[in-house]
Amino acid sequence: MTTLIIISFIAIPILTIFFRLFYGPGETWDHIVKNLLLDYSLNSLFLINGCTILTLAFGVSSAWIVSRYSIPFQKYLEWMLILPLTIPSYITAYAYAGFFDYGGSLELLLESVGISGVKLNITNIFGLIFILSVSLFPYVYVSARAVFLFQSGRLIEASKNLGVGERKTFFKIVLPIARPAIIGGLILVLMEVLNDYGAAKYFGVNTFTTGIFRSWFSLEEPATAVYLAAILLVIVFAIIYFEKLQRRNKNYAITTKSDIKTPKINLRKRTRFVLSAIVCIPVFFGFILPFLQLVYWSFLTYTEVASASFFTIALQSLGISLLAAFLTVFIAIILIYVPRWNRISWLKNSSSIAIIGYAIPGAVIAIGIMIPTLQLDKWLISTIKELFDTNVGLIINGTIIVLLYAYIIRFLAVAYNPIEASQLKIGKSLSESSKLLGKGNLYTFFKIDFPLLKVGLLSAFILVFVDVMKELPLTLILKPYDINTLAVKSYEYASDELIMEASLPSLCIIFTGIIPIILLNKLILNNDKK
Tens digits of residue pLDDT in 401-457: 899 999 998 888 788 777 776 676 666 666 667 667 777 777 677 777 777 777 778
Q: How confident is the model at residue 55 (pLDDT cuts 50, 70, 90)?
A: very high
Number of folded domains in the chain? 1
The pLDDT assigned to 319 comes to: 92
Number of other residues whose CB lies within 10 A of the CB of residue 242? 9
User: In DSSP terms, which residues pair with 69 in a beta bridge?
Assistant: 265
* Phi, psi (deg, nearest 5) at residue 344: -105, 115
Specify if 349 maps to a domain.
yes
Digit-coded pLDDT (tens) for 176-232: 777 777 887 888 888 889 888 888 988 989 998 888 888 877 877 888 888 888 888
Q: Which helix (H) or strand (E) holds 181?
A: helix 175-195
Percent of the chain with pLDDT over 90: 18
Write down the mean pLDDT value for the chain: 81
The pLDDT assigned to 256 comes to: 47
The pLDDT assigned to 279 comes to: 92
Specify if 118 maps to a domain.
no
* Phi, psi (deg, nearest 5) at residue 206: -80, 120
User: In DSSP terms, which residues pair with 265 in a beta bridge?
Assistant: 69
Specify if 287 maps to a domain.
no
The CATH number for 333's domain is 1.10.3720.10
Type of residue at 522: K
3-state DSSP assignment of residue 479: coil
Specify if 375 maps to a domain.
yes
Specify if 370 maps to a domain.
yes
CA dist 239 and 233 (Å) reads 10
Percent of the chain with pLDDT over 70: 83
Domain boundaries, position 458: 1-35+306-484
Question: What's the sign of the alpha-carbon dihedral 318, 321, 324, 330?
Answer: negative
Q: Can you give the pTM of this predicted structure?
A: 0.82
User: Assign residue 205 a region: left if phi > 0, alpha if psi is -120 to 50, beta otherwise?
Assistant: beta
User: Assign residue 438 a region: left if phi > 0, alpha if psi is -120 to 50, beta otherwise?
Assistant: left
Are 223 and 23 in contact by the 8 Å Cβ rule? The answer is yes
Are 407 and 471 in contact by the 8 Å Cβ rule? The answer is yes
Specify if 236 maps to a domain.
no
Specify if 25 maps to a domain.
yes
